[in-house]
Amino acid sequence: MSDQEARRFVIDHFWVAFAAFALACVLGVYQVLERSGIIPAIQSPAVYFASVSTHGVLMAYVLTTFFIMGFGYYVATTSLKMPIWNKPLAKTGYWIALGGTVMAAIPLLLGKASVLYTFYPPVQANVLFYLGATLLVVGSWFWAGIMLVMLHQWKVAHPGETVPLPMYANAANAILWLWTSVGVALEMLFQLLPWALGLMDTIDVGLARTLFAWTLHPIVYFWLIPAYIAFYVFVPAAAGGKLFSDELARVSFIMIMVFGLPIGFHHLYVDPEQAAGWKLAHGIGTFAVAIPTLLTGFTVIASLEVAGRKRGGHGLFGWIGALPWRNPMVLAAILSLLMLMLGGFGGMINASYAMNTMVHNTAWVPGHFHLIFAGTVITMYFAIAYYLWPKLTGKQLCSASLPTLQLWSWFIGMAILTTPWHVLGLLGQPRRISDVTYNTLLTLAWDPYELAMILGGCVLLASALLFVYILFQTQTKGAEEPDRAVAYAEPLHPVVKLPAMLNGFGLWNRVILVLMIVSFAVPIGQFFFMDSFSPSAWGY
């Protein structure tokens, strides 16, 4: 694949991701409006739950998977200076994933798959939904395999050399994704698909929930890692400084990969099918995975400080003002880190074994993950797109100021949306209702917060459309961009000698295998020994 062709391939991935994103934002505004109940004409649980299911699938599975694949191909080709290995295979993966997306979108949009993006058996969706979702995951496995082959080929060709940090992290993400997706793949292949095809009459819901929990937590790190890659390798360079520590960055990525996997049971804290001891064990792991995020926060802020001081900022806080706030990458990193701190704080509460019961399944939870995912992660996806678009399309960004306006409006919109959402959760509002019909005094307190969320949703939609507009204008009308080379940040202290375990994954795969067996063998195995009663399929 020529450079030009590879860039085109990456752009194709990004457009699928951002088209899904824009559509999902439109649905989001409908949802906040419908949920508030201020326009009686649009009240409809059937439309609302179809919309919520589609919004979740588009944002969490389509936007992320396509963005991560496109970004991964770009990082691999530019940091390893190699062409994409096996172009036909890569294209096959892309088309399988895209075909699966379309296949799942049809029943979703027709209201035939209103089972939310977490599937929730024993309510049953149209079989095309399950097939489509499976194909999306299968397509992404092609990508993960290609990433690992390219890493291997590069290491064979460069014995003893250090794998460039962005590729090391990218490969960690591919490995993380392969481990992560096994849970949902087992649920699909042995439970949901045969059941939806009529080959099985009943489904063990406890087992299905346990397998889904296997995937449900590490998948968020799959989404998060590209944002962290940008923190480590793009932000310091954009701010005019250096990466504070290359080695500790690798340690962070390894810890995310290893500790991120065996901890899914905090999603099942109040479930009846798993015992307290297993929940506690996964809960401890959940706290352990906070460590790499604390390390990342330190390294990124330290890298920014190095840059700020280099630019003439002094004093305890003076370096903050000296940063190039108008640079989209730097601005995005600052806004994204702010949301990460608040969202991380909320995450600690969710992770807290017993305190979690106060917020479990309440509006607090979507408030939390919108702050982390839509706030921290997507803000960095924006910044990556702004940085790579000129490199990919060969056109300069159509405006220097619009991207900063877009990033600020996204930040403000997300603050207006998620703050009331958290409060509603503390006031007991369930996360997945389409309307407030409870005849109780408690719900009166909810009204003002729901109205505020409408404002947040509208600001976010405007910001999302502006983002798509900037990319489209740039690609179609932008002036010629001479600089097509990507700049990855140099570490402050060049890496001279790296222990083998920070340059490869053999050891870590074995550690993960052991941790997964310890964390899941009994909790999954129990379903084959206990006298369980599986329900049949229900409509919704």
The C-alpha atoms of residue 475 and residue 391 are separated, in whole angstroms, by 11
Residue 508 in the binding site for another protein (CB under 8 A): no
Residue 210 in the binding site for another protein (CB under 8 A): no
The C-alpha atoms of residue 434 and residue 44 are separated, in whole angstroms, by 8
Residue 270 in the binding site for another protein (CB under 8 A): yes
Gyration radius of the chain's alpha carbons:
23
The C-alpha atoms of residue 391 and residue 7 are separated, in whole angstroms, by 8
Interacting residue with another protein among 7, 13, 55, 209 (CB under 8 A): 209
**Measuring CA to CA, which residue among 72, 108, 106 is closest to residue 90?**
72
The H-assigned helical ranges of 361-478 are 364-369, 378-393, 402-426, 447-477
Q: What's the N-to-C CA distance of the chain in angstroms?
A: 47
Q: CA angle, corner 193, sides to 69 and 190, nearest 5?
A: 90
124 vs 327 by CB, closer to another protein: 124
Catalytic: 142? Answer: no
Kindly tell me the burial class for residue 406, based on how many C-beta atoms sit within 10 Å of its own C-beta (0-12, 13-18, 19 or more). Answer: buried
Instruction: Please identify, among the stretches 186-194, 214-222, 459-467, 495-503, the one whose residues bind another protein according to the rule CB under 8 A.
Output: 495-503
Catalytic: 168? Answer: no
Catalytic: 360? Answer: no
Q: How many of the chain's residues bind another protein (CB under 8 A)?
A: 78
Residue 290 in the binding site for another protein (CB under 8 A): yes
- Min. distance of Cβ 413 from another protein in angstroms? 26
Spell out, one character per residue from 344 to 363, where the chain touches another protein: x when CB under 8 A holds, - when not.
----x---xxx-xxx-xxx-
Residue 283 in the binding site for another protein (CB under 8 A): yes
Residue 296 in the binding site for another protein (CB under 8 A): no
Interacting residue with another protein among 189, 197, 479, 530 (CB under 8 A): 530
Interacting residue with another protein among 120, 130, 212, 373 (CB under 8 A): 120
Catalytic: 217? Answer: yes
Interacting residue with another protein among 141, 287, 408, 469 (CB under 8 A): 287
Catalytic: 370? Answer: yes
**Measuring CA to CA, which residue among 217, 355, 351 is closest to residue 283?**
351
Between residue 300 and residue 339, which ones bind another protein under the rule CB under 8 A?
302
Residue 263 in the binding site for another protein (CB under 8 A): no
Catalytic: 345? Answer: no
Catalytic: 432? Answer: yes
Interacting residue with another protein among 288, 458, 465, 515 (CB under 8 A): 288
Spell out, one character per residue from 134 to 173, where the chain touches another protein: x when CB under 8 A holds, - when not.
----------------------------------------
Which candidate in 298, 353, 432, 469 is catalytic?
Answer: 432
Residue keyed to tokens 């740039």? 474
Which candidate in 168, 369, 411, 505 is catalytic?
Answer: 369
Contacts of 56 (CB under 8 A, 6+ apart): 116, 117, 118
The C-alpha atoms of residue 65 and residue 13 are separated, in whole angstroms, by 9
The C-alpha atoms of residue 360 and residue 368 are separated, in whole angstroms, by 11
Residue 279 in the binding site for another protein (CB under 8 A): yes
224 vs 383 by CB, closer to another protein: 224
| Contact of 305 with 237, CB cutoff 8 Å | no
Instruction: Please identify, among the stretches 165-173, 203-211, 235-243, 387-395, the one whose residues bind another protein according to the rule CB under 8 A.
Output: 203-211
Between residue 53 and residue 112, which ones bind another protein under the rule CB under 8 A?
none
The C-alpha atoms of residue 362 and residue 204 are separated, in whole angstroms, by 25
Residue 262 in the binding site for another protein (CB under 8 A): no
| Contact of 343 with 376, CB cutoff 8 Å | yes
Between residue 406 and residue 435, which ones bind another protein under the rule CB under 8 A?
427-435
Residue 539 in the binding site for another protein (CB under 8 A): yes
The C-alpha atoms of residue 249 and residue 255 are separated, in whole angstroms, by 10
**Measuring CA to CA, which residue among 89, 171, 188 is closest to residue 137?**
188
Neighbours of 423 (CB within 10 A): 18
Between residue 10 and residue 49, which ones bind another protein under the rule CB under 8 A?
45-46, 49
Which positions are annotated as active-site residues?
217, 221, 368-370, 431-432
